[in-house]
Amino acid sequence: MSGQRVRRSVIRGSGSALPETCVTNAELAKRVDTTDEWIVERTGIRARYIANASETTSSLATLAAQRAIAAAGIAASDIDLIIVATATPDQTFPACATIVQHNLGCNGGIAFDVAAVCSGFLYAMTTADALLRGGNARRALVIGAETFSRILDWDDRTTCVLFGDGAGALVLEAVDGDADDMAAPGIIATRLHADGAYNDMLYVDGGPSTTQTVGKLRMKGREVFRHAVVNLASVLAEVLAVAGMTSADLDWVVPHQANYRILDATARKLSLPAEKVIVTVDHHANTSAASVPLAYDEAVRDGRIRPGHMVMFEAMGGGFTWGAVLARV
């Protein structure tokens, strides 16, 4: 044993929040030209949560953060880094993270947003891990939060049925340990990628410097599906190689919840048994940056994910951006 000491980012607690209103496919079919059968067959989605006028990205993020802090058994004042991954912030600026920071009453630390759409939570985790290991902070809140319903074109049945709102959060803590102790909890490996050549496949047709409007989501679903399966399988294999592991070493995969067919195709490409993949897309739909932490928190709270398990987080989103994080929890 080398005895070399390293600093790892350990997951101390998780939390999540959903809007009050759940909208089933049958209810959605009353306002959109679609059916429950059409949506389920193509996506696996049966319901989603939609924010009301009083629910915002920051309010959902704050509630998820409070629950994660409670699960970690710490006080909000112990948090000195907050990163919010979102494509639907309350305001163009300041960052949603600063609103959450003020709501929690832990002002003075680092707080900022990251924008990588559905991969945002992976980008936020990786950034927090680097800051914690570098000594810039001791405890971090990493949050994925969205009110995607605000940017949907409700006349476009090919996109509006796919998305929902929500938030999820993790508390990460920097802990010193033995570099050779692979049984110790903490983030083991991360990899992130982006390719801006595919901007027109998944984007919002507005923005402050172009149209001076918020815009609406546009997507070429078939092309996104094809790239998602290839990119996700590739980055999962890449992270496993960095860690010196195989898919057999994983207890769970917590993927971005975009479409059940993408989850199934990615798992088959990596020879992963379906029972190792956490699936919440059926009742959450695609909540963009919130989907990974929402799925993780649900699996922790229902007892599937337990201390000591090896967990792979992965996602792909507009940009394209994609990434994966491997951690022992």
CATH (domain of 278): 3.40.47.10
168 and 191 fall within a common domain: no
- Among residues 149, 178, 207, the one where a domain terminates is 178
Q: Determine the number of helices (DSSP H) and then strands (DSSP E) in the chain.
A: 10, 13
Confidence of residue 178 (pLDDT cuts 50, 70, 90): confident
Helical spans, DSSP H, in the chain: 25-28, 36-43, 57-72, 96-104, 120-133, 157-160, 221-243, 260-269, 281-284, 291-301
163 and 72 fall within a common domain: yes
259 and 196 fall within a common domain: yes
169 and 200 fall within a common domain: no
Specify the pTM: 0.96
Check the CA dihedral 23-25-26-29 and report its sign: positive
289 and 171 fall within a common domain: no
- Among residues 178, 196, 211, the one where a domain terminates is 178
168 and 194 fall within a common domain: no
- For 256-278, how does the pLDDT look when each residue is reduced to its tens digit (9 = 90+)? 999 999 999 888 888 889 999 99
271 and 197 fall within a common domain: yes
Q: Would you call 243 helix, strand, or coil by DSSP?
A: helix
Q: What's the mean per-residue pLDDT of the chain?
A: 95
Q: How much is the pLDDT for 5? A: 83
Helix axes 291-301, 57-72, angle to 10 degrees: 40
Retrieve residue 12's tokens: 């101390």
Catalytic option among 118, 160, 231, 259: 118
Is residue 184 a contact partner of residue 328, using CB atoms and an 8 Å limit?
yes
Retrieve residue 170's tokens: 């993790």
Is a pLDDT exceeding 80 seen at residue 179? Answer: no
Q: Name the region of 186 (left: φ>0; alpha: ψ -120 to 50; beta: rest).
A: left
155 and 230 fall within a common domain: no
137 and 200 fall within a common domain: no
- For 273-290, how does the pLDDT look when each residue is reduced to its tens digit (9 = 90+)? 999 999 999 999 999 999
- For 119-139, how does the pLDDT look when each residue is reduced to its tens digit (9 = 90+)? 999 999 999 999 999 999 999
320 and 195 fall within a common domain: yes
Catalytic option among 106, 160, 231, 256: 256
- For 63-82, how does the pLDDT look when each residue is reduced to its tens digit (9 = 90+)? 999 999 999 999 999 999 99
Note if 25 is an active site residue.
Answer: no
Note if 118 is an active site residue.
Answer: yes
Span 111-124, average pLDDT: 98
R_g over Cα of the chain: 19
Q: How much is the pLDDT for 1? A: 46
**What are residue 34's DSSP bridge partners?**
none
Q: What is the DSSP string of 281-325?
A: HHHH-B-GGGHHHHHHHHHHHTTSS-TT-EEEEEEEETTTEEEEE
Retrieve residue 75's tokens: 């006080």
The domain in which residue 112 lies consists of 5-178
12 and 155 fall within a common domain: yes
Q: Would you call 211 helix, strand, or coil by DSSP?
A: coil
Q: Structurally, how many domains does the chain consist of?
A: 2
Confidence of residue 2 (pLDDT cuts 50, 70, 90): low
- Among residues 144, 178, 212, the one where a domain terminates is 178
The C-alpha atoms of residue 100 and residue 121 are separated, in whole angstroms, by 16
Note if 286 is an active site residue.
Answer: yes
126 and 211 fall within a common domain: no
